Amino acid sequence: MSRPRGRCSLGALTPAAIASLLLTGCASGRPDLAALDREIDVEGFMGAWYVLAFIPIDFPFFSEAGAHDAVEHYALDEDGGIDITYTFRDGSFDAEPTVMKQSGRVHDEERGTEWRVQLVWPFESAYLIAWVDEDYEHAIVGVPSRRFVWVMARRPQVSDARWRQLYERVSELGYDSDLLRRVPHRTGAASRPQRLDESQPLRIDAPAAATAMLASG
């Protein structure tokens, strides 16, 4: 059952709660966002997704608000977990890639739409596939508090008509769609992004993120 949540402040949170804040966010007082209420093909959801728009994570210690060329990549590992790699260029197309690596797992094995994601061990955050189309070409991922959302597609550009549909879908999920920020992508990119190059420079690491999050409280 959904449960209402109250406001929160960093000073009132435990270290565990602060560590999970990066993905879940503070609450808005509304009922939680629910994951999509139908079974999905988790394997079909794997691969690379362009982030077309978001209500971004934007904290002093980490921000994606200026992201360009943002791509989220999911891959099943041999143990059934999910390797997640999020990469973007901060502020311009010429910036060095920022890469965030996380581990995930399917929490709701019946439907496959509710995951748990771990940036800093042992803390996990809920990661909800709120909507995906039948062809696994467009998706919306959010967190229970609705503080953040990511609108994603297999291509870096969509038509105006498709964008309007996605915008309205975000609103139907209980978000303020006017808070959405479009993510710039280079034109002429391949129709499907390739697997991310593991040699790309890492500018975000879990211990550093954890230290910054705990210090901010």
Q: Terminus-to-terminus CA distance in the chain, angstroms? A: 30
Question: Is 0.75 topped by the overall pTM?
Answer: yes
> Is a pLDDT exceeding 60 seen at residue 121?
yes
CB under 8 Å to 72, separation ≥6 — which residues?
Answer: 48, 49, 51, 84, 85, 86, 150, 152
Q: Work out the pLDDT band at 34, boundaries 50, 70, 90.
A: very high
List the domain boundaries for the chain. Answer: 10-216
pLDDT in tens, 42-99: 999 999 999 999 999 998 888 999 999 999 999 999 999 999 999 999 999 999 999 9
DSSP structural state of residue 81: -
Per-residue pLDDT tens over the stretch 1-12? 333 333 344 444
pLDDT, residue 60, reads 86
Nearest Cα neighbor of 193 from 156, 147, 148, 163 is: 156
Q: Which CATH architecture has domain 10-216?
A: Beta Barrel (2.40)
Per-residue pLDDT tens over the stretch 185-217: 996 443 333 334 444 433 444 433 443 333 333
Query: Token match 């999050």: residue?
Result: 213
